[in-house]
Structure 1
């Protein structure tokens, strides 16, 4: 039982008396950032602030996301595989009546139960057809950002279906504010809004800030002072613009860190940086030397740059590289653990608490990752003479992939299988044919060049069994007709807004 003195203490002071205060958690998500697009991975792109944070933290070099945007964000927010929620097929589109299922418990809701102030800035892309779907109604105290996949970086609009007109997509909580911020570049604007949150926050109380940049997603728009840095260094125009987008985002991250330090929040802060999927090669990104790109089940589509940094980390792990298996879904239970909360009340999680892995260098409790199982993805038109074509176990014409230990199995349509070097390296891009089913040892062959499917039938059979197991839990995506009339921004004062 608490003594009368402790009963009189404020919650933050009580936490200090009884143990360590709960850390402020800053989660920064880049959009479409490739493996080879950060300086510490050898890129020509200048990312000094990202590099500095990574060098002073723990680089996560065996860390995975999903092949696409909305699926990754759904996994981050729930700690559950996208296949559990019908979120595995594609990104959410503007005029479909669908969102991240409302019966899922989201990360900010759990953190609020532990006394956290929860704020979101930037890209949502988890559905908005009704108000119950949007961030302010799903656990975030405040939201400044946009609902859709992307749009114009300067005027914050996106084209309407069937029109040449563009509609506004920028919110300050539930209020449309695009016109007020017209002309302000989104990367800089989102950093400024994040800084305002930090400046107003009472450091005695724990904070969760989800900063979800629009950068470096297409369209490739950036103030010329950033892209001009690469004139003479990068000849390819898309790559040069992309590099400018990335450097601008890096500068914005540096400003957020400076504000954390000026406000006194820094000493109790944990920063996590991640991409949402692999880089889009056709839009300037690079995943070299990994195979594939955004939308692909190869490493270039699902393995992303990520790190943890901040004074909350012990000196013993700062400046280290962690090669344990980690997944974007692991942040949910890890953050809830750091918040002193429980995962009671959620649906069964696929994420695991990785705090000991990150903070102490312990072995990862994660042994496998389901990269995806997508029954709606187009099947190959014909089946080759594949020795493992046994639909009673798992139909290998289905687009799917699973990682178990060092082994990775891919089936069906796997997406782009090209090794694409960034233009500035002037290497020749290569492609290698593959069958309906492929097997790689990722530890020995991270570039996925040596298919071992015929060498290790025992591993193939074991992984097909695991896919069969997970396939029994798949929730197929709802196929909803787009409600063009109801959702048309023309009838909503030229704004993308909930319509049901």
Structure 2
């Protein structure tokens, strides 16, 4: 496969760009931690990601959801999870649930502007009906898997006694054809082939959604072996670091293909994680994936492009940005309009990114999940009887410099990476259901101001209450085990309705 790709690169190296609309390459990493990239001080080798970030604009105050499905839904729909019903958790393997099919999403809007749209990698936005699948949601082609995780080599997944393949090219099951091939390499191969075969007169949208670095910990040994000295005596962390480096290598291969084909000069590349890391390091940020602290919801992201003005290349953008901003930003960049979408929570932030102007937004809602709540108030909780919002419910919002968390926040520890002498630093015992942080002055959330600034707490509770009043009911149907059992579908995880 790599030999064929090399030949295609040589044939395509003189192709000229003629599309006036920019090619858009969106690369999404899975569970990448804040300190898992070299440019945030990691010992993990990410030379390609570091180089791209240093040539572009690093997004320093960039937020997303705390879990895979809600973040992906926000990315593609431009709408908060509370407005799509996906605010509770990830979609389970046998749930009759998907990103609602009446949502008009990013690839559909780009197709209106004449884009060729391709998706490679992890979907995790539901598959119980064919109408939920990528090929029915605006992607011309899809190569990847539907679930939230799978074996990196054999492309299958099990839950209890239920086992099935999960790897497709469009509607064709190809898991057995690719058995034994590592998914990060397969996805990089596919992305390169798409790029090299692409007609440069047609604008390209490529959504490359890596499986890495989600569990399970699997990587070819040569990548893990790079870390035997840097991260001694910890095989799991060596594998994890190797998975990141393998993904970085894949990113480099994609950019090489763009440059050889001449597409790069008219391309915008966005790199993002979907949420904070779980095994990786979010240090010095607090918390991890599935928590409302910065380590769970503030993520690695950057934009790089030859189209960016030279004055912003190599800069760190500290303006407030959110995952929902990508749909309006990229559609407007493509010269499109936003007609046909439901009311968006995202904003066009291209001027903020490309010119360094102030963000269009001054607040981001991080979540409201009424299905996760504390059983009772702390004793003498000063906010128990406020009229704006039930503080037992899990929720979080950032407005300006301030961030408010209510209800169960998730993991609140600070975890240093293994290579720095791994240890957990545990927070002091909480005394009430509300936490308030100045995340500009105190980005690591060490100082809770909820006792000292009741005025800000009450203002932010009112803002959460406002959003709660606009939310739709949580979509969380029971699993349909008998209907979804892969044994009923030739041993493959497939739509069952």
Smaller-chain TM-score bracket: over 0.9
Q: CA deviation at 1:211?
A: 0.1
Q: Residue 167 of structure 2 aligns with which residue?
A: 170
| Counterpart contact for 1:68–1:277, Cα < 8 Å | yes
Q: Residue 4 of structure 1 aligns with which residue?
A: none
Distance in 2 between the 1:425 and 1:285 partners?
12
Q: Deviations over 1:156-185 (max 9, x none)?
A: 00014434xx31100100111111111110
After superposition, residues 196-207 of structure 1 pair within 5 angstroms as: 196-207=193-204
TM-score when normalising by structure 2:
0.95
| Cα RMSD after superposing both structures | 1.2
Distance in 2 between the 1:160 and 1:294 partners?
22
Unaligned runs of 5+ in 1: 1-14
Q: Residue 12 of structure 2 aligns with which residue?
A: none
Q: Residue 233 of structure 1 aligns with which residue?
A: 230
Q: Residue 442 of structure 2 aligns with which residue?
A: 445
1:254 pairs with 2:249: no
Distance in 2 between the 1:286 and 1:384 partners?
35
Q: Residue 182 of structure 2 aligns with which residue?
A: 185
Q: Helix, strand or coil: the match of 1:332?
A: helix
| Counterpart contact for 1:63–1:306, Cα < 8 Å | yes
Residues 106 and 278 of structure 1: CA distance in aligned 2, closer, same or farther (over 3 Å): same
Distance in 1 between the 2:173 and 2:325 partners?
33
Question: Hey, which bits of structure 1, 4+ residues long, moved more than 4 A?
Answer: none
Q: Helix, strand or coil: the match of 2:470?
A: coil
Distance in 1 between the 2:449 and 2:375 partners?
21
1:472 pairs with 2:480: no
Residues 467 and 294 of structure 1: CA distance in aligned 2, closer, same or farther (over 3 Å): same
Q: Say how many residue pairs are matched.
A: 478
Distance in 2 between the 1:31 and 1:213 partners?
6
After superposition, residues 449-464 of structure 1 pair within 5 angstroms as: 449-464=446-461
Match of 2:282 among 284, 287, 293: 287
1:194 pairs with 2:191: yes
| Counterpart contact for 1:384–1:436, Cα < 8 Å | no
Q: CA deviation at 1:86?
A: 0.9
1:152 pairs with 2:151: yes
Q: Residue 31 of structure 1 aligns with which residue?
A: 30
Q: Residue 479 of structure 2 aligns with which residue?
A: 482
TM-score when normalising by structure 1:
0.94
Q: Deviations over 1:1-52 (max 9, x none)?
A: xxxxxxxxxxxxxx97xxx911000000000000010000000100000000
After superposition, residues 379-394 of structure 1 pair within 5 angstroms as: 379-390=374-385, 392-394=387-389
Unaligned runs of 5+ in 2: 1-16
Q: Helix, strand or coil: the match of 1:149?
A: coil
Q: CA deviation at 1:470?
A: 0.4
Q: Helix, strand or coil: the match of 1:181?
A: coil
Q: Helix, strand or coil: the match of 1:363?
A: coil
| Counterpart contact for 2:68–2:275, Cα < 8 Å | yes
Q: Helix, strand or coil: the match of 1:61?
A: strand
Q: CA deviation at 1:56?
A: 0.4
Q: Helix, strand or coil: the match of 1:369?
A: strand
Q: Residue 141 of structure 2 aligns with which residue?
A: 142
Q: CA deviation at 1:476?
A: 2.1
Q: Residue 416 of structure 2 aligns with which residue?
A: 421
Distance in 2 between the 1:212 and 1:199 partners?
19
| Counterpart contact for 2:376–2:392, Cα < 8 Å | no
Q: Helix, strand or coil: the match of 1:74?
A: helix
Q: Residue 11 of structure 1 aligns with which residue?
A: none
Q: Deviations over 1:41-81 (max 9, x none)?
A: 00010000000000000000110111000000000010000
Q: CA deviation at 1:233?
A: 1.5
Q: Residue 75 of structure 2 aligns with which residue?
A: 76
1:88 pairs with 2:87: yes
Q: Residue 275 of structure 2 aligns with which residue?
A: 277
1:355 pairs with 2:353: no
